[in-house]
Amino acid sequence: MSLAQSLLRSRAVAALTSPHGVDRYLEIVNPMWAAAEVRARVVHVRRETSGEHPVATLTLQPTSTWRGHRAGQYVQVGVELPGSSRRLARCFSISSAASAPGEQFTLTIRAHDEGQVSKFLVRDARLGQVLHLSQADGEFTLTGSPATPSPHPVLLISGGSGITPVMSMVRTLLRDGYDRRANRPVTFVHYARSAGDQIFADELAEIAAADNDIDVHVHHGDDRFSAIALARLVPGFRDVDTWACGPAGLIDLVCAAYDTSDRLRLEFFKPPSVASGSADGDVTFTTSDRSAANTGTPLLVQAEAVGLTPVFGCRMGICFTCISRKTEGTVRNVLTGEESSLPDEDIRICVSAPVGDCVVDL
Amino acid sequence: MTTTLTPDQLEEFGNELDAIRQRVIADLGEDDAAYIRDIVKKQRQFEIAGRALFYLPPAWPLAVAALSVSKILDNMEIGHNVMHGQYDWMGDPGLSSRMYEWDNVCPSEQWKYSHNYIHHTFTNILGKDRDIGYGVLRMDEDQKWHPYYLGNPLYAVLLMVFFEWGVAMHDLEVENLVAGKRKVSENKALHRGIMRKVKRQALKDYVLFPALTGPFFPLTLAGNATANLVRNIWAFNIIFCGHFPAGVATFSEEECEDESRGHWYYRQLLGSANITGSPLFHLMSGNLSHQIEHHLFPDLPARRYPAIAPEVKALCERYDLPYNTGPLGKQLWSVASKICRLALPGRSRSHDPEPVVEPALAA
């Protein structure tokens, strides 16, 4: 850590900038200066695929506060959408090899129809733009040091844009000098909708052609995952350390194939839940691990009905005491009728009634 | 409920206000975000300028002025409004009601409870809204007189000078402790929170920044204390003009039982008063010069109040409701006279709202 950084993170500077904190002053001078927060500048944008759901890779230069990432981890990205200045945050897997503190890394993102953030990042992110970041997180990572020789083979299965964390693993292995001498064969099986939708096609071809003990199998279109085909590639795959990432459909098939094997590690993307326009569905309170049928009343009432005691104040939407995080689902503001389906949204539970399934951190 | 409106009229009145609110919410966007970010930036600039000018002793008055402006902006247009959740829609943690902490000895967590919840929910309900007199003053005829209140004007001056401390102490409900209605143990957590903020502010304003100016230590210390004092006096006056000029109504708990949304709006309207002035004046008052609009719509960005004020006023005219407003001098005079008048035993009065100083129709 440089002297300037140690100084900025010192207790003396914290006391001088209290109660706002040093980052609230630094950001005014230069958004890339930070003592605690993490931000990143877009330094390169590369189109990976075009078509209906285009994919782009953004290279990000993070602030010095970035602690680096392990292959397979994700990062939460916050962007302010033009026109509203509303900051939305979504998680994306990192596609580049493991990074060190302050080091550049890449995100490879597919633009989804409903995904305001992914659409914006793929289509409209411009060079020099500053994004808000979390530190890297997630346990879907290669065990131990990727470069450590190990007798255990590795099996990687991915579908669609689920290739990103897996690609980070492969790139880390190769960068760190992985080769045949490691005696740790890697099998990489990927499923893409079509050749046109294939992300990293050229790089995958190069990896496949090179003499590196990484066995690449790419499937397109109707060529879906099957346990029989996998068994032909990797006999006894249930006993092989496996990392699988992709859409729910693929993950369901993989889970069925692995049955109860504890060698399988998963990461999957949930499709955005669609509002049903009624009070059907279930309400789940994650912190207390409780669930009940949605009664259509405000979440505060429903939480109390299952025995929870969330803090509240006015019970009429004015005091913001009862703010809680809704992680999934749609809520309707009972005062205004306005519906909102944003994931990871802070809502006033006293005036928010769930529409269909809803998950709240309570 | 004693109101001048029929239940149907109340409902209609509430619907019209809801419609104004909806229109503003639908229109929130980049301009509002740019505005608050600009104010934050200006506040930080004033603060840095103020702190820096203390190195130049002849510029002392200028330093105090800059720091005072910074503290007023921090507490009023930024802190008060951000902590009302007015900018939560932006999703910026730096402007979120859940995270924001202001430059004041009252911890934000505690203030949000006593202000956003207690005061804004039970506005001007005697016995419920502890902002009426802050537990120190007699601000309403219906508060029973006691020889203690002979000191009303003196307490008001003290409260003004030490306003941030008064706001922090307000939540400890000292008067209820004295009356035996509250246990000392209930205050433990609050007390800890206050002490943490007191220590931080004292360390920053009365030790570290003065020490950093070396030989000018006493000057800087005095300057920082003056800036805090200026902010206290300003905040006290703006807030008292928002709730205590003649013509502002108070309510009894019975009146507000099973209150409709329309009646809630009605009570917020009658329990608040505006101050007229220039755009700069509105900014420096955190737009609490539009206390009426703020009480009707506490979670709308305050910069929107001036634009919707004419609509609210027109609505009041249509329903023949008072819209209490006037220049600062007039409202201050009205508040000061009330403080003095209520030091002496006064007649009790009916719960009918008093006639307002400036009827909406005349304005």
Residue range B319-336, pLDDT digits in tens: 999 999 999 999 999 999
Residue range B240-254, pLDDT digits in tens: 999 999 999 999 999
Please check whether residue A7 touches B, CB under 8 A. Answer: no
Contact between chains at B112 and A314 (C-beta distance less than 8 A): no
Beta carbons of A321 and A298 less than 8 angstroms apart: no
In this model, does residue A272 exceed pLDDT 80? no
Residue range B209-225, pLDDT digits in tens: 999 999 999 999 999 99
Contact between chains at B90 and A86 (C-beta distance less than 8 A): yes
- The string of DSSP codes covering B287-332 is TGGGHHHHHH-TTS-GGGHHHHHHHHHHHHHHTT----EEEHHHHH
Nearest CA in chain A to B48: A25
Contact between chains at B121 and A83 (C-beta distance less than 8 A): no
In this model, does residue A146 exceed pLDDT 60? no
Q: Quick one: pLDDT at residue A4? A: 85
Query: Which of B116, B194, B203, B265 to substitute to test the interface with A, most A CBs within 10 Å?
Result: B116
Q: Which residue has the tokens 């889970």?
A: A255
φ, ψ of residue A75 to 5 degrees: the values are -135, 145
Tell me the chain A residues in contact with residue B38 when contact means C-beta distances shorter than 8 Å: none
Please check whether residue A328 touches B, CB under 8 A. Answer: no
Please check whether residue A336 touches B, CB under 8 A. Answer: yes
Residue range B150-191, pLDDT digits in tens: 999 999 999 999 999 999 988 888 878 888 888 888 888 889
Q: Confidence band (pLDDT; 50, 70, 90) for A279?
A: low
Distance between B116 CA and the closest CA of chain A, angstroms:
5
Q: Confidence band (pLDDT; 50, 70, 90) for B351?
A: very low
Distance between B47 CA and the closest CA of chain A, angstroms:
10
User: B146: how many CB neighbours lie within 10 A of its CB?
Assistant: 9
From residue A50, alpha-carbon distances to A119, A121, A206 in Å are 13, 14, 21
User: B317: how many CB neighbours lie within 10 A of its CB?
Assistant: 14
Please check whether residue A86 touches B, CB under 8 A. Answer: yes
Amino acid at A263: R
Closest CA to A342 of A356, A332, A329: A329
Nearest CA in chain A to B82: A320
Beta carbons of A334 and A279 less than 8 angstroms apart: no
Helix, strand, coil in percent for chain A, rounding step 5 = 25, 30, 45
Q: Quick one: pLDDT at residue B360? A: 41
N-terminal to C-terminal alpha carbon distance within chain A: 38
Contact between chains at B208 and A316 (C-beta distance less than 8 A): no
Beta carbons of A321 and A311 less than 8 angstroms apart: yes
Please check whether residue A231 touches B, CB under 8 A. Answer: no
- Which of the 8 DSSP states describes residue A99? B
- CA atoms of B172 and A155, how far apart (whole Å): 62
Q: Quick one: pLDDT at residue A278? A: 60
Contact between chains at B30 and A320 (C-beta distance less than 8 A): no
In this model, does residue B266 exceed pLDDT 70? yes
For residue A245, what is the enclosing H or E element? strand A241-247
- CA atoms of B165 and A246, how far apart (whole Å): 57
Q: Confidence band (pLDDT; 50, 70, 90) for B302?
A: very high
Contact between chains at B41 and A28 (C-beta distance less than 8 A): yes
From residue A289, alpha-carbon distances to A50, A296, B189, B199 in Å are 42, 20, 29, 40
- CA atoms of A55 and B306, how far apart (whole Å): 46
Which among B32, B48, B117 has the least Cβ separation from residue A319?
B117
Average pLDDT value over all residues in chain B: 92
Distance between B303 CA and the closest CA of chain A, angstroms:
16
Q: Quick one: pLDDT at residue A147? A: 53
Distance between A82 CA and the closest CA of chain B, angstroms:
8
Tell me the chain A residues in contact with residue B25 when contact means C-beta distances shorter than 8 Å: 336, 338
Q: Confidence band (pLDDT; 50, 70, 90) for B354?
A: very low
Please check whether residue A236 touches B, CB under 8 A. Answer: no
User: A24: how many CB neighbours lie within 10 A of its CB?
Assistant: 14
Tell me the chain A residues in contact with residue B209 when contact means C-beta distances shorter than 8 Å: 16
Whether ipTM exceeds 0.95: no
Chain A, window 341-360: residues with a beta carbon less than 8 angstroms from a chain B beta carbon: 346
- CA atoms of A168 and A176, how far apart (whole Å): 12
Closest CA to B362 of B330, B309, B331, B316: B316
Please check whether residue A88 touches B, CB under 8 A. Answer: yes
- Which of the 8 DSSP states describes residue B34? H
- The string of DSSP codes covering A252-278 is HHHHHHHTT-TTEEEEEEPPPP---SS
Closest CA to B241 of B301, B199, B296, B285: B285
Tell me the chain B residues in contact with residue A323 when contact means C-beta distances shorter than 8 Å: 85, 88, 97-98
Structure token digits, residue B133: 């007199």
The size of the A-B interface in CB pairs under 8 A is 102
- CA atoms of A272 and A280, how far apart (whole Å): 17
B220 contact partners, CB below 8 Å, separation of at least 6: B54, B209, B210, B212, B213
State how beta strands A345-348 and A323-333 pair: antiparallel
SS3 for A21-56, per residue? CCHHHHHHHCCCCCCCCEEEEEEEEEEEECCCCCEE
Closest CA to A98 of A153, A180, A176: A176
Which among B32, B91, B113 has the least Cβ separation from residue A88?
B91
- CA atoms of A113 and A136, how far apart (whole Å): 26
Please check whether residue A320 touches B, CB under 8 A. Answer: yes
Residue A232, classified by CB atoms within 10 Å of its CB into exposed (0-12), middle (13-18) or buried (19+), is exposed
The lowest-confidence range among A110-119, A304-313, B43-52, B104-113 is A110-119
- The string of DSSP codes covering A280-292 is -SEEEETTTTEEE
Residue range A169-222, pLDDT digits in tens: 999 988 887 766 666 789 999 999 999 889 999 999 999 998 888 999 999 988
